Structure 1
Amino acid sequence: MAKNEINLQIITPTRKVFDEMVEMVVLKTVEGEVGVLYDHEPVVVMLNYGIIRYKKNNEKKQATTMGGFAEITKDKVIILTDASELEGEVDVERAKKAKERAEGYKNKPDMDQKRAELALQKSLIRLKMNN
C-alpha cells in the first residue's frame, strides 16, 4: 500500500465491481458530495443514485452507484450498492432504450410511477457517465 492511499471497494449483490487502492474518492450521498482521503474520520453514509469519482495513479475515473451505503474508515471505503458500472462498462444503447421505455411509462396511469421514475433516473445516470 502506497502512503496516503485508501482501498476502494464497490460491491453489488451479484459481483465485486472494484477493489483497488486509490488516492481519493468523492461520493454522492443523500446529503451532498463527500470527499474522502486517507485518514478520514470513520462514518457510514447513505448513497444517492449518481456517479462517484475517484483518482487512481493521478488519473480521474468514475463509477455509477444506484443507492446503497458507504462505510468509510481511515484507510478504506466500502460501497454496498444495488448496481454499479465502471467507465467503459455501460451499454449506451441499452441505457438509451431503458430511458425511452421509462419516459413512456411515466405517462401511463396504470404503471407504477415510482418505479418508472427510478428506471428513468438509473438510465440518465448511466448516460451521463458516458458524456
Structure 2
Amino acid sequence: MNAIQFVENDLSSNNNIPDFKAGDTIAVDYKIKEGNKERIQTFQGVVLQRRSSGNTETFTVRKMSGSVGVERIFACNSPFIEGIKVTKKGHVRRARIFYLRDLTGKSARIKEKIVVKK
C-alpha cells in the first residue's frame, strides 16, 4: 500500500451514502455557516453524474429554481453533508446526463423506474 492510499484510508469518514446514480432525484441536507451560526439547507434535484471513487468521489445535482437551472457539486465524504435521501429512481441509459441542460418542459422529464420490493 503506498503512502497516498494509507492517508486516504486513515482520513476517510464513513458517511452512510445511499445507493443512487444518474437520473435519480435526491434531497441533500447540508450545513451552511453564516457568521457564527449554522443551519441545514436542503438541495433537491436530479443527479447528473457521479464521478471518481474513494475519498475524491463527487456527484452533481441539478435543480430548477424558477426558470433558471442551478447545479451544485457535492463531495461524498464532505463533513457538511448531513444526509442524502433518494426521493425517486430515474430510468436513464447514460451515466452522465448533461443533455438535460438543453431540454425544457415535458422533454426534460425523466421516466421513473418502478421498484418492486419482495
TM-score (normalizing by structure 1) = 0.28
Q: Which has the higher contact order (CA 8 A, sep 6+)?
A: 2
State TM-score, norm by structure 2.
0.29
| Structure showing the higher helix proportion among its residues | 1
